Structure 1
Amino acid sequence: MSSPLRTRWTIAPTTAPRPLINCNRCGGFKPYRCGGKFRVNANGKRIDVWLIYRCIACDNSWNFAILERRNRRDIEPALLTALESNDPALVRRHAFDSAALRDQAGRIEEFADVTVRKELLDGEAERAAALRLELRLEGTTPLRLDRLLAGELGFSRSRLQALDDQGRLTIEPDGARALRKPVRDGLTVRIDLAGEADCGAVLSAAHR
């Protein structure tokens, strides 16, 4: 029996979530977009840091708290430098932290657009009859797993469901219920493609 084609997909959300804030200028709840800059305030030895958001309608500002009343000595110098210089990677990390943003704002808008970076780990598409996907997620996304698989592999979602019903699609650790839930970091998906007319095309799509 041939070994499965093993690939890793690294999924990166494209559009950052937006908090819904009661804008005191517009007079109602409005989406706020990340401004891409931190505000660092030093009061003696205490440091406060916020990521600045702007109302999409009037540009009013809202502060997403990153650090509050933190002693300067407790902050790594490299981190403080990154905050003061608005390091893009650090801005992205906080801007895509949906859980923390929801904790502070209460309500957020999320977007399902992602980019997928595919890496072949082991196996040959020409000789394999099964696919093993390892999913890594950079940030969070509301994109459902079945929509991701269907879009990237050229499947219909009904076909994915049929493969699951036949016991030819397995998902670890969450099982089949993960198909209809948002993509989660660390999932492994195995699909048995033996006998499928488009086996080669699917396997090629999985790593290109």
Structure 2
Amino acid sequence: MSGHLRIRWTIVPSTAPQPLINCNRCGGLKPYRCSGRFRVNANGKRIDAWLIYRCVDCDNSWNFGILERCSRRDIEPARLAALESNDPVLAYRHAFDVIALRRQVGRVEEFPDVAVRKEVLEGTRESAAVLELRLGLEMSTSLRLDRLLSGELSISRSRLQALEEKRLLSVDPEGAKALRKPARQGTTVRIDLVGEDDRQAIISAAGG
């Protein structure tokens, strides 16, 4: 058992962030969810566009600004067509732009639920002694790395910490308390499984 098993995990957040907004109908701070629909307004040669959000309780609307007084000639025709047709891919991309959301409303609630697509890049289950997981994110997530690994590999977070303390688990790029930070694009996790009784179960759960 001298080989590496390299697997790519593509992490897809399941629930879009929800801005917290003072709802004038409910009379308090409420989470708003993305409707998946755009509003586009043309005033002469100027275009305004918003992504429409709805209060989770009363369905009151709030508009997340995408374009403001933008010249039509500065907008790619394909992008304008996507806005006007409520393209779901474009809506998804803007809905997960938590930085832009915070810039407009300040407070945003994020959710840790994700789906993980797994693809073997190199190696085989039978010969693997070291499991190498390469993370790719379609969008940013607040899910901590240790929670991701624990859920997908079916091992406890305390065991992950113990493996790290024994230098049987490493995270690249390294950083203080890397396991406790959100999963990030480009992160590589290596776990030395030599001597682990449940090596095959961990590898199978990893996608090998």
Fold shared by both chains (TM-score > 0.5): yes
Q: Does 1:89 align with 2:89?
A: yes
Partner of residue 154, structure 1: 154
Pairwise mapping of residues 120-159 of structure 1 onto structure 2 (< 5 A)? 120-159=120-159
SS at match of 2:119: strand
Partner of residue 44, structure 1: 44
- How far apart in 1 are the matches of 2:36 and 2:184? 26
Pairwise mapping of residues 67-106 of structure 1 onto structure 2 (< 5 A)? 67-106=67-106
Partner of residue 115, structure 1: 115
SS at match of 2:16: coil
- How far apart in 2 are the matches of 1:110 and 1:67? 24
SS at match of 2:177: helix
Q: Does 1:28 align with 2:28?
A: yes
Of 151-160 and 166-175, the range deviating more from structure 2: 166-175
- How far apart in 1 are the matches of 2:9 and 2:195? 25
Runs of at least 4 residues off by over 3 Å? none
- How far apart in 2 are the matches of 1:64 and 1:95? 9
Deviations 1:33-64 (A, max 9, x none): 11110011111111111000011122111110
Q: TM-score, normalised by structure 1?
A: 0.96
8 A Cα contact 1:38 1:51, kept in partner:
yes
Structure 1 residue 174: deviation in Å? Answer: 3.1
Partner of residue 18, structure 1: 18
Structure 1 residue 175: deviation in Å? Answer: 3.4
- Residues 190, 140 of structure 1: CA spacing in aligned structure 2 closer, same or farther, 3 A cutoff? same
Structure 1 residue 195: deviation in Å? Answer: 0.8
Q: CA RMSD in A?
A: 1.2
- How far apart in 1 are the matches of 2:153 and 2:55? 38
Structure 1 residue 5: deviation in Å? Answer: 0.3
- Residues 104, 181 of structure 1: CA spacing in aligned structure 2 closer, same or farther, 3 A cutoff? same
Structure 1 residue 3: deviation in Å? Answer: 2.2
Identity %: 70
Structure 1 residue 151: deviation in Å? Answer: 0.8
8 A Cα contact 1:164 1:176, kept in partner:
no
- How far apart in 2 are the matches of 1:100 and 1:120? 35
8 A Cα contact 1:170 1:176, kept in partner:
no
Pairwise mapping of residues 161-180 of structure 1 onto structure 2 (< 5 A)? 161-175=161-175, 177-180=177-180
SS at match of 2:64: strand
Partner of residue 9, structure 1: 9
Structure 1 residue 76: deviation in Å? Answer: 0.7
Deviations 1:57-77 (A, max 9, x none): 221111101111111111111
Deviations 1:85-121 (A, max 9, x none): 0111111111111111111111111111110000000
Stretches of structure 1 lacking an aligned partner (at least 5 in a row)? none
Q: TM-score, normalised by structure 2?
A: 0.96
